[in-house]
Amino acid sequence: MQTNIPPRPTVTDKMIEQAAETVAAKVDISSEDIIDVYRHRMDGFELAMELNKNYVDVDRNDMDALDDMERLVSEELTKAEKEWFTANNIQPPYPIGTRVKEGVIEHIDTHLVAHYLVRKWDTPPEVKSWRVIKFEDAVPAPEEIIA
C-alpha cells in the first residue's frame, strides 16, 4: 500500500470561478451571484432555485445554461485528479477480490480516477450492481463480516 501520497484534489475556488464566468457569459446572471450559491454537485435546477432565493431572476433557458456549471467544475476536478494520479504514480492499495467493509472489490473503474467498483455483500455475483469507492476510502472488512 502506498504511503505519503498527497491528498486527492478537491474542487477549488478557482475551478468554481472559471466555470461561473463561462456560465455567466451565457445568461443574464453575474458570476458573483452564481459563485455565492453554487455547491459542488448542484444541477441547473438546484442552482436556479438557490439563485431565486437570493432574488436573482432565473428563467427556463437560464436553467439549461446553469446545468453547465456542474459539468465544467466536474471536468476541471477530473483533470486535476488525472494529474494527481499520474504525478504520484497512484496504485490500487488492494487487489481485485479483496473483501472491504462495503463488499468485495470486483473491478477498477475505467471512467473515474482511482476508484473501485465494489459488489455489496448482499448482492449476488450475477447482478451487475456496484458501489463506487475511492481507492483511499477502501477499508479491509472486519473479520466478523468475512466469516
Contact present, 47 and 33 (Cβ < 8 Å): no
Per-residue pLDDT of the chain (147 residues; tens, 9 = 90+): 555 678 999 999 999 999 999 999 999 999 999 999 999 999 999 999 999 999 999 988 898 899 999 999 999 999 999 999 999 999 999 999 999 999 999 999 999 999 999 999 888 888 889 999 999 999 999 875 554
Confidence at residue 73, expressed as pLDDT on a 0 to 100 scale: 98
For 101, phi then psi, to 5°, come to: -55, -40
Confidence at residue 147, expressed as pLDDT on a 0 to 100 scale: 47
Confidence at residue 144, expressed as pLDDT on a 0 to 100 scale: 58
For residue 41, give the nearest of 16, 18, 7 by alpha carbon.
16
For residue 70, give the nearest of 136, 126, 20, 4 by alpha carbon.
20
